[in-house]
Structure 1
């Protein structure tokens, strides 16, 4: 996946687009995270990014970037559909990694702690 395509995906978008993405992410994130758990080795950072994106104290542009990446992650049909075993989450991982690298300094210890607890809960469910 090239940098131009990732840059297009990660555009924060308008306030309206951010609200729509947030609704989509809230509705689908945990189901997708469970499916991707074995495919994305940095899922802990993705979950921390989820909490960062939903934190009202996070700057708007950071939230927008994260919501764009997370919306791409939760959509089952994208460049490489998620249901393709072994490949489905590779494009999602590239987009998520780019977003997380761009906003790394905004993910707080509180976001990481919430992610740690959520992963423990995911492990209990399996």
Structure 2
């Protein structure tokens, strides 16, 4: 997956687009994570990013980038379908890694604490806060 394509995926979008993506991410994040848990090497960062994206205190641009990346992650069909073992999530990993780099510093310790709680227990799918 080339940088131009990832850059297009990670456009933060306007308020309406962010709301659509947030709705999609809220509905599909936990089931997608459960399917990917063995293949995504950074589940803790992924869940912390989920909470960061839902945190109303996260700046709009960072929220938009994260929501775009998370929406790509939860899409049932993407560049490389996720049902292909080992390589299926490689495009998701590339997009998420680029998003993490772009918003570095916005995922706070409290987002990681929420992620740790969610990964230790069955996630309650409640918004951060």
Q: When the two structures are superposed, what TM-score results if normalisation uses the length of structure 1?
A: 0.94
RMSD: 1.1
**CA offsets per residue over residues 1-40 of structure 1, 9 Å max, x none?**
1111100000001111100000000000000001111111
> What is the aligned length?
123
Contact 1:76 1:83 in 2 (8 A): no
Contact 1:54 1:63 in 2 (8 A): yes
Q: Offset of 1:122 from its aligned partner?
A: 4.7
Structure 1 gaps of 5+ residues are none
Counterpart of 1:19? 19
4+ residue runs over 3 A deviation: none
Counterpart of 2:58? 58
Counterpart of 1:112? 112
Structure with a larger share of its residues in helix = 1
Counterpart of 1:41? 41
Structure 2 gaps of 5+ residues are 124-129
Counterpart of 2:77? 77
SS in 2 for 1:63: helix
Q: Offset of 1:45 from its aligned partner?
A: 0.3
Distance 2:40 2:122 in 1: 14
